[in-house]
């Protein structure tokens, strides 16, 4: 079964899915593997692996260790074309559609596509959108683009609809890792009203209640990174999973 179909099945069964982002730069390999194990037993549905930069050359080894430690789907969430690995199960094949930087719209994808094919990695075509979040996050800075203003849900909805019409499999509403403000519910709701493809939402989500709000607004998958990195406590991970799995609680 393809990873994307597994994700759709999770959405169907649990109401929404919970992804934890592991940035290989933010902890050592042993910690990443331990965190992956914690995530699996606490009810996380998939792990995203990636970062805006890669200061340490441990991308492949981190994924290998995570795969050994748990059986969750491991999906690359690439910060650049350097973040491709045959060790993963799939890759979010991102196009930064909120920006007008040709490199992140199509340039990087042309470089990455043949590599992804040659290692038989499943690409999940994703319209990636930055939503203004109160600070310039690393991902936004590195992209050299402007985010969609947080108080313009109609602009966000039009971008997401364009992604759907271009045949993308999902959209990712991104406030940026460590964002001051997460993506506002009215932006998620507008995107939901205009589109039928799955909506992933992440960046700056700090509490299970906030995560549930995103689901209630229409997000199908919620991502947390920083908060779990800071406090990799199984009870907190489980609280997020329970808040997001609206069909199971």
Binding site for ligand 1GP (CB under 6 A): 21, 174, 177-179, 202-205, 223-227
Give the shortest CB-193-to-ligand 1GP separation in angstroms.
22
Nearer to ligand 1GP, 117 or 230 (CB): 230
Beta-strand relationship, 90-96 and 46-49 = unpaired
Give the shortest CB-23-to-ligand 1GP separation in angstroms.
8
Sign of dihedral through CA atoms 208, 213, 214, 216?
positive
Give the shortest CB-19-to-ligand 1GP separation in angstroms.
8
3-state secondary structure of 108: helix
User: Residues 78, 92: contact at Cβ < 8 Å?
Assistant: yes
Give the shortest CB-34-to-ligand 1GP separation in angstroms.
18
Give the shortest CB-20-to-ligand 1GP separation in angstroms.
9
Point out the residue whose Cβ comes nearest to ligand 1GP: 202
3-state secondary structure of 226: helix
Nearer to ligand 1GP, 64 or 214 (CB): 214
Nearer to ligand 1GP, 204 or 218 (CB): 204
The CA distance from 119 to 199, in Å, is 27
Nearer to ligand 1GP, 1 or 134 (CB): 134
DSSP letters, 115-135, are: HHHHTTPEEEEEEEEEB--SS
Both tokens of residue 144? 């050299």
Nearer to ligand 1GP, 164 or 226 (CB): 226
DSSP letters, 74-117, are: EEE--SSTT---TTSSEEEEEEETTS--HIIIIIHHHHHHHHHH
Nearer to ligand 1GP, 53 or 115 (CB): 53
Nearest CA among 213, 219, 202 for reference residue 19 = 202
Give the shortest CB-117-to-ligand 1GP separation in angstroms.
26
Q: Give Rg (Cα) of the chain.
A: 16
Nearer to ligand 1GP, 223 or 236 (CB): 223
3-state secondary structure of 42: helix
User: Residues 82, 54: contact at Cβ < 8 Å?
Assistant: yes
Give the shortest CB-118-to-ligand 1GP separation in angstroms.
28
Residues linked to residue 223 through DSSP beta bridges, in sequence order: 19, 202
Both tokens of residue 11? 């959405």
């Amino acid at each position: 079964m393809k990873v994307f179909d597994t994700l759709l099945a999770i959405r169907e069964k649990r109401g929404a899915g919970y992804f934890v982002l592991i940035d290989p730069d933010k902890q050592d390999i042993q910690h990443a593997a331990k965190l992956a194990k914690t995530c699996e037993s606490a009810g996380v549905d998939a792990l995203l692996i990636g970062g805006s930069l890669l200061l340490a050359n441990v991308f492949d080894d981190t994924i290998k260790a995570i795969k050994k430690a748990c059986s969750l789907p491991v999906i690359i969430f690439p910060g650049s074309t350097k973040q491709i690995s045959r060790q993963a199960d799939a890759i979010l094949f991102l196009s930064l559609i909120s920006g007008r930087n040709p490199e992140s719209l199509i340039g990087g994808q042309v470089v990455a596509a043949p590599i992804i094919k040659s290692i038989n990695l499943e690409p999940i075509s994703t319209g990636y959108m930055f939503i203004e979040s109160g600070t310039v996050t690393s991902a936004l800075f590195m992209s050299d683009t402007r985010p969609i203003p947080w108080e313009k849900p109609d602009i966000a909805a039009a971008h997401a609809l364009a992604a759907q019409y271009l045949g993308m499999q999902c959209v990712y509403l991104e406030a940026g890792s460590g964002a001051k403000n997460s993506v506002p519910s009215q932006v998620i709701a507008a995107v939901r009203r205009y589109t039928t493809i799955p909506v992933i939402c992440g960046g700056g989500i700090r509490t299970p209640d906030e995560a549930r709000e995103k689901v209630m607004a229409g997000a199908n998958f919620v991502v947390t990174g920083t908060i779990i990195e800071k406090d990799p406590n199984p009870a907190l991970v489980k609280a997020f999973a329970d808040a997001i799995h609206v069909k199971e609680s």
